[in-house]
Every structure is written in C-alpha cells, then in structure tokens.
C-alpha cells in the first residue's frame, strides 16, 4: 500500500515539474489533515518539494545551466495567494501609458492588504475596492486601473489614446461600472467611444 507521500508525489508528478503550485487542501482527499501536513513536511525536508511560501509548495524545475532550482513564476504564486490582478502601475504600463515599472511585485486582492515573502522576493497584496473587483473578468479592468494610476490630470490626457482600444464589450463593462468622484468623467467618455 502506498504511503501518503507517495500518493502526493503521484499527483505532483502527473502535473509535471514547475507547472503549478499546491496547498495542503489539494491533497485532503488522500488522508487526514495532520497526515497531509506531515507528508508535505517530509517531502520538503527531503528536497523533493519546495516550500514557496507559507502553506504553498511546488515541484521545482531544475536549470542545468545554473545548476539550481528554477524560481516559481511570481504571477502564479500571487494568484495562489488570492491576487485578482497586477496593480494599477502594471496596467498603465501594459497599455503603454507609462514607462514606469513596479520595483517589487504588487497585486490587487479582494482580501486584506498584506505583504508576503516568497523565496527572496516580497509580494505586496493590496485590497481593491468592490466596484473595481466587479470588473475583474473584463478587459475594462486594466483601463480603469490605468486611469486610477494616472490620476485626474493624467486620465484626461489618456482618454483620447484609450478611445481606440475600446471595443463594444469594454464599453458595456465601463458603462456598468459604479464609480464615483473624478473617475466618473473619463470612464463615461470611454464608455461612449464604442
């Protein structure tokens, strides 16, 4: 009969090295919670699995060139930690509205603002307002994030540049956005652009 650790490794090996991150909850169907944690601890101490962050593990790929384990993808780690999207600066950069780039990874989350250490990196998770999270599955979210980053004056200048990117689906999402304050004007201008 296979041990809990063998069963865990059967699942992990089927996915392949470096393909995903795991939490103890991914293996709860195999045994009791204490047995799962004990098996994960043993696999980590043996160097088979890597503890990426508290409660998050991976089956690391190995670089023959560097002769070391390849670090996990930080975006995948952030998503596992509950990230909804990259921060406003990253959205503005992706849309070509700024050349600035974040110094350290920062993401938006529905949960509380917190900082997590992942290997030798610090990941900032910032609470996003509910009205912005309502746009999370739409391409309109990046546009709204970029406007938030630019501020009132920068947003006025960016509206003409962004109008060409607004599709009917983005316009529909922007029209349904429940924003208040200075963001209302640029969002309404873009919603009417399609």
Question: Domain containing 44 — which CATH number?
Answer: 1.10.10.10
Give CA–CA dist 72/123, Å, rounded.
13
Q: Give the pLDDT confidence of 18-52 residue by residue, as tens digits.
A: 888 999 999 999 988 899 999 999 999 999 999 98
* 59 and 146 fall within a common domain: no
Match 């780690």 to its residue by tokens.
77
* 63 and 131 fall within a common domain: no
Q: Give the pLDDT confidence of 103-154 residue by residue, as tens digits.
A: 888 999 999 999 988 877 888 999 999 999 999 888 899 999 999 999 999 9
Task: For the chain, give the mean pLDDT.
Answer: 90
Structure tokens at 170: 């983005």
Give CA–CA dist 31/43, Å, rounded.
16
Give CA–CA dist 21/108, Å, rounded.
19
- Contact between 77 and 86 under an 8 Å Cβ cutoff? The reply is no
Phi, psi of 4 (to 5 degrees): -60, -40
pLDDT of 1: 54
* 22 and 94 fall within a common domain: no
Structure tokens at 85: 């999207």
* Domain C-terminal end among 69, 96, 114: 69
Overall number of domains in the chain: 2
Q: Is the pLDDT of residue 97 over 90?
A: yes
* 55 and 80 fall within a common domain: no
* 85 and 146 fall within a common domain: yes
């Amino acid at each position: 009969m296979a041990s809990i650790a063998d069963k865990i490794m059967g699942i992990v090996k089927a996915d392949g090295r470096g393909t995903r991150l795991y939490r103890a909850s991914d293996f709860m169907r195999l045994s009791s919670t204490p047995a799962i944690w004990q098996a994960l601890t043993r696999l980590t101490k043996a160097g088979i699995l890597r503890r990426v962050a508290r409660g998050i593990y991976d089956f690391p790929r190995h670089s023959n060139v560097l002769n070391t384990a390849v670090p996990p993808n930080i975006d995948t780690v952030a998503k596992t930690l509950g990230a909804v999207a990259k921060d406003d600066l990253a959205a503005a950069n992706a849309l070509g509205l700024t050349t600035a780039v974040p110094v350290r990874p920062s993401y938006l989350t529905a949960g509380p603002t917190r900082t997590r250490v992942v290997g030798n990196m610090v990941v900032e998770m910032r609470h996003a307002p509910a009205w912005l999270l309502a746009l999370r599955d739409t391409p309109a979210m990046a546009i709204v994030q970029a406007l938030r980053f630019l501020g009132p004056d920068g947003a006025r200048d960016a509206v003409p540049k962004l109008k060409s990117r607004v599709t009917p689906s983005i316009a529909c999402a922007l029209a349904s956005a429940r924003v208040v304050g200075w963001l209302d004007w640029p969002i309404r201008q873009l919603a009417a652009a399609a």
